Chain A
Amino acid sequence: MTEATPALQLSGITKRFGALVANDNISLRLDKGEVLALLGENGAGKSTLVSILFGHYAADAGAITAFGKPLPAADPKSALAAGIGMVHQHFALANNLSVLDNVLIGLEPLWRLRSHAAPVRKQLAEAALRFGLAINPDALVGSLSVGEKQRVEILKALVRGAKVLILDEPTAVLTPLESAALFVTLKQMVRQGLSIIFISHKLDEVLQISDRIAVLRAGKLVAECATADATKPQLALWMVGRTLTPSVHPTRQRGAPLLQLDAACTAGHPKLKSVSLTLHAGEIVAIAGVAGNGQAALADLLCGLVPLESGSVRIDTQPLSSSPSACVNTGIGRIPEDRSHIGVVGDMTVWENAVIEDLTDSRFTRAGFVRREPSQQHATALVQQFDVRTQGVNVPIRGLSGGNIQKLILGRVLSRKPKLIVANQPTWGLDVGAVAAIHERLVAACVPVGDGSTAAGVLLISEDLEEIMALADRIAVMSRGQLSEALPKAEWTLASLGLAMTATTDQEITRAA
């Protein structure tokens, strides 16, 4: 295999941004027909490396050859011409346009009296058939699921003649079933001679899909090995640079019932259909399920965003308030799914976001004016306590990474000493370090601190089954707006959970198969 010309050969790639060395003398090889996983934490330099590969950046030093020919630096067009296709984490698609239009854009000269869509339609159908990526070319992209949109992106690259496909954190936005379907597709592509660079920070999927693994840390290539020889702890050590202590789960005392839902129904889509659940103080109850089955409706209901149609919801035996601010004040801590749009106001500063839920608190406001000094001190304390990496509290929060935004949100929630924490996908898309930190805090919140405060209860909504298995005391599965009984964790297995999640959605099963 090594004698053959590699699909890609990177030698001595170095890229600096000011004082920061994003890529430090990286040499890598990608053979034809293999999946190379690029593993590393957020900020390790993976994205910079592939941006150089795809011609978005020019490397300060080093050279790239594609199929034995040198690749000119910083020229996306020649990267495309050399058969390098890129699927970004944030899709470059237009929602109000059809699939065909999205694939067609840029493929033909601009000045023509009529688009020649027919050959592209044919190519699209061929690629779809060859790799099992069925898609309706006339569907509006906005009407597609996230997994299908990703399919469009892959097809876009294939129609443009990609022989090397770079996937930037492709599973970050997918449900477990969609990920499984993607892996089937990728295997099929590799069998047909395509090469794939798979960027991820998730150890399990890297072990599952790749042939070789290259680990980046702080801009350096710290290790390279065949997947067959790799173990999870070893990879984690390479990636993080230290051993992650498995989170110690303090023994928790189940207290009085904290949250009681009795046949709760909501309107809207998707809606809750007669959901019943009891959550006790000091307990973590996880809601598993495929996205879009009503988990969001449940979270919105508890946060006062969606009104109750029928049934009852009680917090501490009191009926649930019906406005978001009242919910917050009765002691509900909210960790929303869309952290950067719902969780924080991107253009506002870190400190403003830190006190945004406390604007009736006399510590932070006086006579209708915000007290800057105490607010900023509070924010600074949160930033230190929760290890939020930011250049101070006076910068707009949108500049922070997702993990750091999430840590700030968590700090904001916990500083209010909530009774109930509604955590919707709290670690979605975060790297190992941030995930561990957030898990630790959530578990700690369920244990009463010495000063007589009571333990909180956590309602954890997640699609990550490993997360659920690691944290939850009891697990309920949500499907089509209905919630199963919450059974103790010991009574579930990964397999039985997966089955319960999919049992009622037949099309999901066929898609995964």
Chain B
Amino acid sequence: MLSEALQLLLSDPFWVAVLRIATPLIIGTLGVLMCERAGVLNLGIEGIMVAGAYTGWLAVYLGAPLWVGVLAAMATGGLFGLLHGVLTVPLALSQHVAGLGITLLATSLSYFAYRVTFPKVTTPPTIQPFQAVAPNAMDGIPVLSVFAASTPLTWLAFALVALVAWVLYRTPVGLAIRMVGENPQAAESQGINVTAVRIGTIVAGSALMGLAGSFLTLSAFNAFFFNMINGRGWICVALVVFASWRPGKALLGAILFAVFDAMQLRLQQVPGNVLPYQLWLMAPYLLSIAALILVARKASYPQALMVPYRKGER
């Protein structure tokens, strides 16, 4: 069994699966990370991913090109982000409650819209999803062959990690975002519009969440199912803590989780398995908790996370 596991770790299909599992987690985690860097928890991610998955898929089903589907998903995410931003920033409502409310709203709306649009289907209608960039073109070359067998959205996920890191650490806007999440009073006293920066960041982050959801319907699968997000949004929220709010570490965490998940999928199928498969299903979550305990206990939170900013108050 050990040799089988080792063989598995070295095979290309395994790593392609890892990247496929990791892609929505990478993008979603970046979305949560951006919101939290600006000081706002966004528990709407689970629902925003559902809505992104649905609208992205619907756009393509109705005849739009795949990339327009991606944009539609991002716009939907941004819209829900705007709602979350208005509720939590100027109205200063509880970020937990607003976020969970958005998850319920976005999920239910998507399911409702799906039922209304396709009242009579028993098998979900399908689309032609994103294909591997260049399957078999790089065979035999490690790493590159894995990427060649992945879809463009996976490539985009990696590019986004670099982009978000650049924006946060190398641009004035990024500094404003981080400052607003650390000490909004200080930002305001330097002429930064805290409300605008926070809402803008939430909209951008939520657009990424929508994009993350659309990967599932436009790339990983070719149809929309109920419950297809299945807790991935919550994993992203945990990954942000694991990543100590750093994009690079978020990438690492998402891939680590995906490795565990891909392994359990494979190990379930190893013949002669005496362990019930539910135990394998639990494995990635248990390992994530263990990793979280090891890595994130000493994480330093953005100091103004979940602290609403009211002008002129201390």
Give residues in A with beta carbon < 8 Å to B: 76-77, 90-97, 101-102, 104-115, 142
Contacts and interface: CB of A to CB of B under 8 A. Distances in A.
A165 to B, nearest CB: 15
B187 interface: yes
Given A101-B178, A105-B186, A105-B187, A94 B173 contact: no
Contacts of B183: 92-95
Contact of A92 (B172, B174, B185): B185
B172 A111 contact: yes
A94 B186 contact: yes
B12 to A, nearest CB: 37
Contacts of B303: 94-96
Given A95-B182, A101-B179, 6 more contacts: A91-B186, A92-B186, A93-B183, A93-B186, A105-B179, A105-B187
A113 B173 CA distance: 9
Residue among A90, A101, A111 having the largest count of chain B Cβ atoms under 10 Å: A101
B172 A96 contact: no
A479 to B, nearest CB: 29
Nearest to B301: A96
A113 B179 contact: no
Q: Which 4 pairs from chain A and chain B are nearest by CB? A: A106-B190, A94-B182, A92-B186, A94-B183
Interface in B139-178: 170-176, 178
A77 B191 contact: yes
B190 A142 contact: no
Given A96-B182, A96-B302, A101-B178, A115 B172 contact: yes
Nearest to A398: B314
Contacts of B189: 76, 92
Contacts of B178: 94, 96-97, 101
Residue among A95, A96, A104 having the largest count of chain B Cβ atoms under 10 Å: A96
A447 B60 CA distance: 86
A77 B190 CA distance: 9
Interface in B81-140: none
B171 A105 contact: no
A109 B172 contact: yes
Interface in B189-222: 189-192
Contacts of B185: 92
14 contacts: A91-B186, A94-B183, A95-B182, A95-B303, A96-B182, A96-B302, A96-B303, A101-B175, A102-B186, A105-B186, A106-B187, A114-B170, A115-B170, A115-B172
B182 A108 contact: no
A97 B300 CA distance: 11
A106 B179 CA distance: 10
B190 A105 contact: yes
Contacts of B175: 97, 101, 104-105, 115
B301 to A, nearest CB: 8
Nearest to B176: A110
A17 to B, nearest CB: 13
Contacts of A91: 186
A142 B192 CA distance: 21
B171 A113 contact: yes
Residue among A92, A93, A107 having the largest count of chain B Cβ atoms under 10 Å: A92
B179 A97 contact: yes
A105 B192 contact: yes
Nearest to B197: A110
A144 B286 CA distance: 38
Interface of B: 170-176, 178-179, 182-183, 185-187, 189-192, 300, 302-303, 314
Residue among B171, B172, B191 having the largest count of chain A Cβ atoms under 10 Å: B172
Residue among B170, B185, B186, B191 having the largest count of chain A Cβ atoms under 10 Å: B186
A109 B192 CA distance: 10
A97 B302 CA distance: 10
Contacts of B190: 92, 105-107
B186 A110 contact: no
A378 B191 CA distance: 47
Contacts of A114: 170-171
A85 to B, nearest CB: 11
A113 B172 CA distance: 8
Contacts of A96: 178, 182, 300, 302-303
B173 A111 contact: yes
A105 B190 CA distance: 7
B173 A110 contact: yes
A153 to B, nearest CB: 10
A111 B200 CA distance: 13
A96 B176 CA distance: 13
B126 to A, nearest CB: 41
A112 B171 contact: yes
A110 B178 CA distance: 13
A108 B172 contact: yes
A94 B176 contact: no
Contacts of A97: 175, 178-179, 182
Nearest to B314: A90
A105 B176 contact: yes
A340 to B, nearest CB: 11
Contacts of B179: 94, 97, 101-102, 105
Contacts of B191: 76-77, 106
A112 B314 CA distance: 31
Contacts of B171: 112-115
Contact of A112 (B172, B186, B192, B300): B172
Contacts of A142: 300
A90 B185 CA distance: 10
B165 to A, nearest CB: 13
Contacts of A107: 190
B191 to A, nearest CB: 5
A101 B185 CA distance: 15
B172 A110 contact: yes
Contacts of A76: 189, 191
A115 B170 CA distance: 6
A92 B186 CA distance: 4
A108 B172 CA distance: 7
A90 B313 CA distance: 13
B172 to A, nearest CB: 5
A489 B183 CA distance: 44
A106 B197 CA distance: 13
Contacts of A104: 172, 175
Nearest to B184: A94
A94 B188 CA distance: 12
A104 B179 CA distance: 11
A105 B300 CA distance: 21
Nearest to A101: B175
A111 B178 CA distance: 15
Contacts of B182: 94-97
Nearest to B312: A56
A425 B300 CA distance: 29
Contacts of A90: 314
A109 B172 CA distance: 7
Nearest to A91: B186
